[in-house]
Amino acid sequence: MKFDMHCHTKAGSIDARVPIQRYIELLHEQGFDGMLVTDHDSYKGYRYWQETKESLPPELQNFVVLMGVEYDTRDAGHFLVIMPDHVCLRVLQVRGMSIEMLEQIVHHYGGILGPAHPFGARSSSAMFFSRIRKNPHLIRKFDFLEGFNTCETIRANQIAQLLAKKYSRQCFGGSDSHKEEYVGMAFTEFDRDITCNDDLIACVKDGGVAAFGGKEREFLRKHRHRNSFAATWGFKAYNRGLGFLYSPYRKLKIRKLSLHRR
């Protein structure tokens, strides 16, 4: 089955412009079987699909939509997180956890995770954070890496794939689309039927990624500015500031989790 494993929807990400129904139409037209919704620190896009999926045309009723999230960590950039069916933790919708805490929570509840665009934008990509560079053993705790991202350069994707090979990790391909023109420009193929999150998690744990890849977007001048000093540290300050603001609520949610009582 062919999936786009990094999708942002208008209902779930403030910087996305594509309604999820339109996303499904575009992917279906290009021969995709499904998509993973990965809105920023939010399940709103997936919930919106659940509430409106009955209105889809009959030919789209069997299109598979999976629930994920792109989580903003405090110290290691963005991570794609996939939890089992019926596990929807509020804490995964509150940015600012450390990567160690995120990994502990996700694996405790049976989920999987991996860095999005590991060598992408410096403000949000794992390999540009000292936490990962100084502790490369953490990579062994990840279940996959995003080895192809449409929004990154050819070089960034190549290095991500070399990193995955070094640590024997499977790669996902995702378009990271926020606009229509990028939808379907990246893919991940699995060697079996995927109908739900539990299927996907079992497949990844079993080494079932058959192929991944796609085409990088054309880089314009406005895209190159994202790695400027101002853009990089401006976003980091914004992310850490929000993380600090939400920290009392996040800590309360973490305390309520049964991390040590299994």
Edge-first strand listing for the sheet containing 209-214: 64-67, 34-37, 2-7, 186-190, 209-214
State the virtual CA torsion across 126, 129, 134, 137 in degrees, nearest 10: -10
- Boundaries of domain holding 44: 2-256
- Residue 217: pLDDT band with limits 50, 70, 90: confident
Query: Is 261 a residue whose pLDDT tops 70?
Result: no
Band of pLDDT at residue 222, cut at 50, 70 and 90:
low
Burial zone of 202 (CB within 10 Å; 0-12 exposed, 13-18 middle, 19+ buried): middle
pLDDT greater than 60 at residue 262:
no
Instruction: Encode pLDDT of 57-75 as tens digits.
Output: 998 989 999 999 999 999 9
Round the average pLDDT of the chain to a whole number and report it: 92
Answer whether residue 220 shows pLDDT above 80. no
pLDDT on residue 120: 93
Asked, for residue 40, whether it belongs to a domain, the answer is yes
Q: Is residue 231 a part of any domain in this protein?
A: yes
39 part of a folded domain: yes
Contact between residue 65 and residue 7 where contact means Cβ atoms under 8 Å apart:
no
Residue 261 lies in a domain: no
Share of the chain above pLDDT 70, in %: 95
- pLDDT higher than 70, residue 260: no
pLDDT mean over 154-168 = 97
* pLDDT band for position 248 (cuts 50, 70, 90): confident
* 197 is a domain residue: yes
Residue for token digits 């926020």? 178
- In angstroms, the CA 84 to CA 92 distance is 13
- Per-residue confidence band for 5, with pLDDT thresholds at 50, 70 and 90: very high
Number of domains observed in the structure of the chain: 1
Q: In this structure, are residues 106 and 60 in contact, taking their beta carbons and an 8 Å threshold?
A: no
Task: Indicate which CATH number applies to the domain containing 66.
Answer: 3.20.20.140
In a domain, residue 234? The reply is yes
* Stretch among 35-39, 83-87, 222-226 having the lowest mean pLDDT: 222-226
53, 48, 109, 50: which is closest to 83 by C-alpha? 109
Q: Residue 72 CB: number of other CB atoms within 10 A? A: 23
> pLDDT at residue 136 above 60?
yes
Domain assignment present for residue 262? The answer is no
pLDDT at 223: 62
Lowest mean pLDDT among 143-157, 189-203, 219-233: 219-233
Distance CA 178, CA 45 (A): 13
Share of the chain above pLDDT 90, in %: 77
Structure-block tokens of residue 5: 């494993």
What DSSP letter does each residue of 70-107 carry, written as one string?
EEE-SSS-EEEEE--TT---GGGGS----HHHHHHHHH
- Partners of 189 in beta bridges: 2, 211
